[in-house]
């Protein structure tokens, strides 16, 4: 038997075995994981999310471990390439030495419009959001805000957007669906409103400014299991997209900041707190949003 025949025979036997088992060969998946901190299990206070806070070191460890749980779940579902984006505050929270070695890590900020989604592109099969939180002004939500505590609201094409929504639109711009969101019950509800039948992992339940927490190890187990489940039904998810024109309304807590934002060409002052922008280009909308927050 020739070497060529041997290889061919092996391939035929492999596919017969796979068919007999009722399986199909796993496709390598490329997965983007954006990790914030306010929605990590255990986190309840701003001090816990900030460099210099007395317990910050412990909670950045928990943040890294939840990222690892998502990575493990993705690998179990057949992922062969994983990029983790540290998307909180300084962009330097996840502990590189503790991160799963089969993932790459993007740290710090580029000052570009992709922000918490820096690194995503059309080559990815799925996006996962770990440690996310509800939008500004949401009742019964842990550390709710939208990009900054200086904003009261961000509305795109009439829809109030949490950071998961803005970042989901960025993923959708590249044709990448969001398949899982973890955090408290408020962001889980908002994620369902935006993405439909997305997988969610509720790691804590907010009551006013407090929350009932799972044990962190239980939260990690749920994240790992739900990540695998989400990626195994990848075909059920669609990228989040809005049709142009894109109408962006940004409401500032401080009237002076709203006034400052009106200096941007094309800005329209809607009321005391709100400035509006309209464009047919999605990336221009992201740039306007970033400029308005400077």
**What is the set of active-site residues?**
145
Contact (CB, 8 A) for 131 and 37: yes
Q: Residue holding tokens 């044709």?
A: 175
Buried b (16+ CB within 10 A) or exposed e, 40-49: bbbbbeeebb
146-150: list long-range contacts, CB under 8 Å, 24+ apart.
147/115, 147/293, 148/293, 149/253, 150/252, 150/253, 150/254, 150/257, 150/293
CA distances from 69 to 74, 182, 276 (A): 9, 11, 39
Q: Under 8 Å CB-to-CB from 9, ≥6 apart: which residues?
A: 1
Say how far residue 28 (Cα) sits from the centre of its chain.
Answer: 21
């Amino acid at each position: 038997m020739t070497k060529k025949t041997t290889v061919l025979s092996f391939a035929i036997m492999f596919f017969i075995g796979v068919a007999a088992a009722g399986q199909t060969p796993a496709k390598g998946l490329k997965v983007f994981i954006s990790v914030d901190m306010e929605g990590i299990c255990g986190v309840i206070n701003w001090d816990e999310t900030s460099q210099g806070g007395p317990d910050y070191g412990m909670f950045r460890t928990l943040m890294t471990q939840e990222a690892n749980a998502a990575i493990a779940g993705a690998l179990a579902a057949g992922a062969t390439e994983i990029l983790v984006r540290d998307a909180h505050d300084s962009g330097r929270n996840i502990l590189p030495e503790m991160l799963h070695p089969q993932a790459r890590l993007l740290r710090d900020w580029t000052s570009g419009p992709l922000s918490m989604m820096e690194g995503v592109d059309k080559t990815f099969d799925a996006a996962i959001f770990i440690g996310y939180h509800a939008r500004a002004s949401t009742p019964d939500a842990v550390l709710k805000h939208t990009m900054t505590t200086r904003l009261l609201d961000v509305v795109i094409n009439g829809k109030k957007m949490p950071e998961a929504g803005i970042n989901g639109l960025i993923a959708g711009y590249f044709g990448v669906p969001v398949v899982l969101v973890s955090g408290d019950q408020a962001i889980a509800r908002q994620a369902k409103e935006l993405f439909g039948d997305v997988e969610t992992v509720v790691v804590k339940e907010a009551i006013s400014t407090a929350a009932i927490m799972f044990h962190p190890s239980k939260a990690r187990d749920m994240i790992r299991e739900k990540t695998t489940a989400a990626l195994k039904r990848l075909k059920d998810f669609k990228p989040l997209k809005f049709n142009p024109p894109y109408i962006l309304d940004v409401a500032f807590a401080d009237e002076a900041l709203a006034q400052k934002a009106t200096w941007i060409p094309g800005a329209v002052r809607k009321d005391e707190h709100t400035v509006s922008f309209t464009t047919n280009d999605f990336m221009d909308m992201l740039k306007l949003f970033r400029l308005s927050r400077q």
